[in-house]
Amino acid sequence: MPHLNLKNAKIWYEQSGSGQDIFWIPGGDNVASDWSYQTNYFKAAHRNTSLDPRGAGKTEIGDLKEWSISDMANDCAALIKEVCKPPVYVIGISMGGLIALQLAVSHPELVKSCIAMGAASHCTGFSRSWMKAEIDFRKRGGTLTPEFARHHYGVFMYPPEVIDNDKLWDSLVPFISDSYGERENRFLIGQWQACVDFDISADLPECETDLHFIGFSLDIQCPPSLVRRSAQISKRAVYHHIDGLGHLSLMGHKPDIVNKKISEIIGYKKL
């Protein structure tokens, strides 16, 4: 797949399938191909497009060190205009959920419906202080060995059911390692600072786009209570709760449960 050349970035994207467009936005340090559990499920009736966000994968940003969630939402808007037929379904997880919400607010004409998973109107509490602490750690030159990193981040990605299952854990280690084993400090700082600075709580009460928030009961990165409250302050939003899943259970742990919930929201019936 090619890059889309923009002013400050060359955005790598992937596209497959045919039909009504779904635009998938990855979380921090995740990439387009990480949505394979979803795109393979929906490709029979939908064209699926995703990208590597700034600071991850094959997207090129030169010497850029700072960018915002709005910048990444504008990247998505440019890509949707270029390779999709808007309005499209926009679906994001974690940081990608923040970008999806910003896209719904800033570019409502491009969004048919927005699904934000494991994401809230702004970062607060433990998640915010954790990111700020690691930003400071990385700015001081701190790094994690790949072996330590996959355990450090793995427990934030998955619930106890995964941690307590040796076979399942071992099967997910390659994915965790690919995403988080070796993170370049500049890119981590850029992505996480964008998340820390994000606050769309003043815009959601006026947003006319149909919003769907999905919270996971065992999500410690973005507890479901924060997701629910974000839906409650939104003008046109529905909150969906899924029990037993963690922050990234949709990737490798129990993707079918999340796929079925998305299907319910967009009216998709798997052939």
Domain of 241?
Answer: 3-122+198-266
- The answer as to whether 231 is a domain residue is yes
Please, what is the average pLDDT of the chain?
94
- The answer as to whether 58 is a domain residue is yes
Following DSSP, what letter does each residue of 227-271 receive, concatenated? HHHHHHHSSSEEEEEETT--TTTTTTTSHHHHHHHHHHHHT----
Spans of the chain, pLDDT less than 70? 1, 269-271
- The answer as to whether 132 is a domain residue is no
The predicted model scores a pTM of 0.95
Kindly report the three-state secondary structure assignment for every residue of 184-203.
CHHHHHHHHHHHHHCECCCC
The tally of domains found in the chain comes to: 1
- The answer as to whether 43 is a domain residue is yes
- The answer as to whether 182 is a domain residue is no
pLDDT in tens, 92-146: 999 999 999 999 999 999 999 999 999 999 999 999 999 999 999 999 999 999 9
What residue type is assigned to position 53 of the chain?
Answer: P
What is the CATH number for 110?
3.40.50.1820
